[in-house]
Chain A
């Protein structure tokens, strides 16, 4: 049975963008995390965290339709994706953008072409309009001046921002981000956080972020969902600062206050 998870008052009454019920994830028949019950609300910034190898990225690949969950139900905008046909999944994929850990920009294309690609594939806009939109998205992430460069010609932080621009290409209501701050210096990481908050405020985009970055989780996360590989379940859900200070679970408090396992939290 999944742990009873209370929704915080701030999220009550808001529309659910993604609903998970009894979701188990894993490889083959081996479950890593079982029985996840989680509502992700429209316009929230939800961080998903946990120890290394606890299944965060696997959960994300179930949310982004690439890996079906072992069991349970995942609804995005009310559409069930567990066991859905390829056509349904295609329909759902239009409703979210995805930023991969290493950016996963297409190396043979310029940043502009990368961002324009989803527009070319899914819209019938005139080419000029597609280019303008792509330039605008690159401008939003501060890369307007680098539109003609290839991914190999820009830094890792810029690649991540470009990947966010590409995820924004079709103005999806939901964006998934896998470790957006990994490997970035603190200033670039803070800039990225500021960008997510700005986009969240301006566009009302829902962000589901896999991250270990405590500074980001505590400063911009509306809620934090914590997975624990040892107990094979989601062990906490709530505002990050509240969980850090008042969670009944010592592991959650330690995780969020960055306390070494030998010390008392």
Chain B
């Protein structure tokens, strides 16, 4: 590739700046030309002319010189003309100059306005959340009155996808959590000679707290993200619009089956995680000489119906939160390639935050009630 530099001659006569370029005006010579123009343009000429009759080779980057001079002339409020070009070259330059007038910079927002806009954005999000909750509640009531409004098939398949398919991972984590608690508590308890009571600790913490919590966190990662991605993709591909123009409410069609499926399967998964968690505790006590029967009886005596119900209620609340947040994140998906990814991230992060917040509220509630 030849990289002959362009020959730039700048003359200034009675305030008229004439830039005559000869040689190659292309990608490889543009930077030298722009360098040569810097000082003459800073002198605020009264008019600018670009003489291009000596240009041997002009490519689409070379046109940038004309654009630069045009914009400089516009911002100085002086006339600009291009001389010595015709035919395709003129077309190329004319096309590039179209719409190149410098746009007035957007006025900078004051701090108060920026805070106001941010607050309005948060308010809108709050309204969206409120509207969503209202819509879900109204449609849920309609379905209770007319169960045939529910898309049973979709609900069952969501139960399979987000319930049955989650059984291995929920079971594994539940089992390991039980074992970890037993590991961590065995030595301190042994100091007081209460080794068998490790079963109590495992049973109470897993059934009341960690079983539902682990299940919900897996649910947020597996299902909340999936709901946001599925519904978000449908929004991007206008499938949600298509549903609305058919007169089908996307909340009834997409959200309710997913929320109901999650609400049904999560407490079941939480119970399953708790059972395996208690079993996991025996991994530590078994080698210490305790029989399975001793361990089971101790764990059973530690548990109460209230504690068990507490776990179930927590799991149900977590299910509603995670699935609702996932679906809402999907429905609020914006446009563009990154929008679905963003919604998915929001669904998982907001889901987990909501779970922990709800857990602390429910925990203190049940504690106050003495359950």
Contacts and interface: CB of A to CB of B under 8 A. Distances in A.
Nearest to A178: B238
Contacts of A90: 247
Given A262-B91, A262-B94, A104 B246 contact: no
A100 B248 contact: no
A165 interface: no
Interface stretch (A114-122, A200-208, A214-222): A114-122
Contact of A100 (B98, B233, B242, B247): B242
Interface in A67-120: 89-90, 93-94, 96, 98, 100-102, 104-107, 117-118
B241 interface: yes
B239 A93 contact: no
A100 B244 CA distance: 12
Contacts of A61: 241
Interface in B45-76: none
Interface string B87-112: 00001001100100000000000000
A65 interface: yes
Given A262-B91, A262-B94, A101 B238 contact: yes
B237 interface: yes
B237 A66 contact: no
A64 interface: yes
A122 B91 CA distance: 57
A176 to B, nearest CB: 8
B94 A100 contact: no
A63 B41 CA distance: 52
A100 B235 CA distance: 12
Interface in B227-271: 233-234, 237-239, 241-242, 244-248
Given A102-B237, A104-B238, A106-B239, A66 B244 contact: yes
B239 A122 contact: no
Q: In terms of DSSP, what is the predominant structure of the interface of chain B? A: helix
Question: Contact residue range for chain B?
Answer: 10 to 19
Interface in B218-234: 233-234
Contact of A93 (B98, B233, B238, B245): B245
A102 B238 contact: yes
A9 B238 CA distance: 38
A100 B241 contact: yes
Nearest to A102: B237
Contacts of B91: 262
Q: Chain A: interface residue count, which band?
A: 20 to 34
A98 B242 contact: yes
Contacts of A93: 244-247
A121 B237 contact: no
B237 A94 contact: no
Contacts of B94: 262
Contacts of A89: 247
B241 A66 contact: yes
A175 to B, nearest CB: 11
Contacts of A106: 234, 239, 242
Interface in A31-68: 61, 64-66
A65 B237 CA distance: 18
Contacts of A122: 247
B188 to A, nearest CB: 52
Nearest to B94: A262
B108 to A, nearest CB: 20
Contacts of B247: 89-90, 93-94, 121-122
Nearest to A86: B249
Q: Which of A94, A96, A106, A118 has the most CB of B within 10 A?
A: A106
A90 B247 CA distance: 5
Contacts of B242: 98, 100, 104, 106
A121 B245 contact: no
A104 B248 contact: no
A92 to B, nearest CB: 9
B246 A118 contact: yes
Contact of B241 (A96, A104, A262): A104
B245 A66 contact: yes
Nearest to A169: B246
A18 B248 CA distance: 22
Contacts of A104: 237-239, 241-242
Contacts of A101: 238
A93 B247 CA distance: 6
Contacts of B248: 117-118, 121
A64 B246 contact: no
Contacts of A262: 91, 94-95
A15 B57 CA distance: 62
Nearest to A99: B242
16 contacts: A66-B241, A93-B244, A93-B247, A101-B238, A104-B237, A104-B241, A104-B242, A106-B234, A106-B239, A106-B242, A107-B237, A107-B239, A117-B248, A118-B246, A121-B248, A122-B247
Interface of B: 91, 94-95, 98, 233-234, 237-239, 241-242, 244-248
8 nearest A-B residue pairs (beta carbon): A93-B247, A104-B242, A104-B238, A98-B245, A100-B238, A90-B247, A104-B239, A64-B245
Given A94-B247, A105-B239, A262-B91, 18 more contacts: A61-B241, A64-B245, A65-B245, A93-B246, A93-B247, A98-B245, A98-B246, A100-B238, A102-B238, A104-B237, A104-B241, A106-B234, A107-B233, A107-B239, A117-B246, A117-B248, A118-B248, A121-B247
Interface of A: 61, 64-66, 89-90, 93-94, 96, 98, 100-102, 104-107, 117-118, 121-122, 261-262
